Structure 1
Amino acid sequence: RDRLPALLDADIDEARSITDDAQPLEELQATLAVLDHYGTRYEVDFGIVRGLDYYTGMVFEMYTAGLGAQNQICGGGTYRLAQLFGGSETPSCGFGIGFDRVLEVCKIEPPREPRVAVVFLPDVAEDAIRVASRLRDDAGVRTTIDISGRKFGQQLKHADAIGADYAVIVGTKEVEAGMVTLRDMRTGAQEMLGFEEAVARIVG
């Protein structure tokens, strides 16, 4: 305990001369060798103390630029907890990530998937629901269908309001022909197509 203050600002070689237990330092040095191999930037700090009591070995923290004082995005360490739950003593390592901070610094934009609204006439509602199911389940297209009883024109307005890229129109003539009408909500252009061709246009 008397040697602890000297350890706080020591490097590994100095720590080796201060402490009598060399094994933890050898394990740390082996870990640092792996980080060196991958070109990872790091700083050895014997003064870091994680807040959880169960850490029994090396602990680590990860930081990033661009977040001011709240720049830590990950922290963790090594521990031996299995025996507390009836298992054998097993070396383990765990960590926690601050996803909000990671997303803030990375500004990750998920890829935008096309969104489709199925618009239909009341007398072919069951056919429209089947089309919506095929779009979702078979083609994997993000699909909305309005079954609240809105009229055809109101359904189109709703599709535009929710930001749908396409409207898949199901009416009597589409059902009779075994096709759908695909309407581009950005341009207003529409065309009657077979189901597979409509899907290809949507995802293409």
Structure 2
Amino acid sequence: PQAGRYRQFHQIGGEVFGSLDPLVDAEIISIAHKVVKELKIEAVVEVNSIGCKVCRPAYREALTQYLEQVSGHLCEDCIDRKDRNPLRVLDCKVPTCKSAVKDAPKMVDFLCEECREHYQKLLEYLNIMGIPYVENPNLVRGLDYYTKTVFEVVSRELGITIIAGGRYDYLVEEMGGVPTPAIGFAVGVERLAMLVKELPQRQALYMVIPLGEDTVGYALKVCELLREKGKRVELSYKRAGLKKQLELANKLKADYAVIVGEDEMKEESLSIKNLHTGEQVKLSLKELFSHVL
């Protein structure tokens, strides 16, 4: 296979079911964009709308007529596709096919009023969110069940798709379920790994340990204060002595134990123990915000 193409691969992704709102589309694309941004991968977000059952038939007919005129420039696979699934010709990577469809009709010119409004709202939301994107009228995705929004996150370095997704508003119903609009995306794990130059540093883990049932409420408050400081926090649910809970913290590879006992609750303080060095300090809640952890 070519670079970045695997016979066997792994994917992770996200999906939202139950909403037709283009705001959901924008949020899904935002999550996909954050993945590459956090990993410092140079990539571009490409978006398109491929319409719905109402408007796509007219486009399919116009596209088929156009492909008949340029069929002499299509590869063997696309000659077959132009009758069975003409939209897939737009997605072909063969240079002669890419050149042949350069002047093909664009789906955005055939969108019904609902799909046009949905697409315009999506672009408006992406602009508001500050997500850089380009419109790619030839982006159709490889699966026939997609509707309206489709998108890809493409590596600038290798020109390969890292993340791809779109809407599939009819799929649940076609599989026997109740009508349920949906949108989602998948991330190619191997492609991500190939493009990541430097892994983000692991964030330190704080295990908050309440000593006794009466301190649980205060421990919850401490958890939220630490999270407000941007810390990664786990609350110990183990009702046991300090030694057992410290063993659990070590098992979970926590970096710090935040010990909350009755004294700490009365004083509105907490004890933080570095589980690597054994050093322990006691801080008031006010000091927590000025102390560099």
TM-score category (smaller protein): 0.5 to 0.7
Distance 1:2 1:130 in 2: 69
User: Residue 80 of structure 1: CA displacement?
Assistant: 2.9
Give deviations 1:99-121, integer Å, cap 9, x for gaps.
32322212452332121000121
Distance 1:48 1:101 in 2: 27
Q: 2:279 pairs with 183, 189, 193, which one?
A: 189
Contact 1:54–1:80 at 8 Å: present in 2 too? Answer: no
Aligned to 1:65: none
What one-letter code is carried by the residue in structure 1 that aligns with 2:253?
Answer: G
Distance 1:193 1:2 in 2: 77
Q: How many residues align?
A: 146
Distance 1:164 1:145 in 2: 11
Matches within 5 A, 1:80-159: 80-82=106-108, 83=110, 85-86=112-113, 92-94=137-139, 96=152, 97-98=161-162, 99-107=188-196, 108-122=198-212, 123-136=214-227, 138-159=228-249
What is the percent sequence identity of the aligned residues?
A: 22
Contact 1:54–1:79 at 8 Å: present in 2 too? Answer: no
TM-score (norm 1): 0.56
Matches within 5 A, 1:67-82: 80-82=106-108
Distance 1:159 1:172 in 2: 20
Aligned to 2:86: 53
Give deviations 1:183-204, integer Å, cap 9, x for gaps.
00111110111235445432xx
What one-letter code is carried by the residue in structure 1 that aligns with 2:106?
Answer: R
What one-letter code is carried by the residue in structure 1 that aligns with 2:221?
Answer: R
- RMSD, aligned CA: 3.7
Larger C-alpha radius of gyration, 1 or 2?
Answer: 1
Provide closer, same or farther for how the CA distance between residues 58 and 168 of structure 1 changes in structure 2, counting only shifts above 3 A.
closer
What one-letter code is carried by the residue in structure 2 that aligns with 1:130?
Answer: K
Distance 1:186 1:113 in 2: 15
Contact 2:91–2:138 at 8 Å: present in 1 too? Answer: no
Provide closer, same or farther for how the CA distance between residues 93 and 134 of structure 1 changes in structure 2, counting only shifts above 3 A.
farther
Unmatched 5+ stretches in structure 2: 1-67, 95-101, 120-135, 140-150, 153-160, 163-187
Moved more, 144-153 or 109-118: 144-153
User: Residue 85 of structure 1: CA displacement?
Assistant: 4.5
Note if 1:163 corresponds to 2:253.
yes
Distance 2:105 2:277 in 1: 60
User: Residue 48 of structure 1: CA displacement?
Assistant: 9.2
TM-score (norm 2): 0.41
What one-letter code is carried by the residue in structure 1 that aligns with 2:217?
Answer: E
User: Residue 140 of structure 1: CA displacement?
Assistant: 2.3
Provide closer, same or farther for how the CA distance between residues 93 and 155 of structure 1 changes in structure 2, counting only shifts above 3 A.
farther
Contact 1:79–1:92 at 8 Å: present in 2 too? Answer: no
User: Residue 56 of structure 1: CA displacement?
Assistant: 6.5
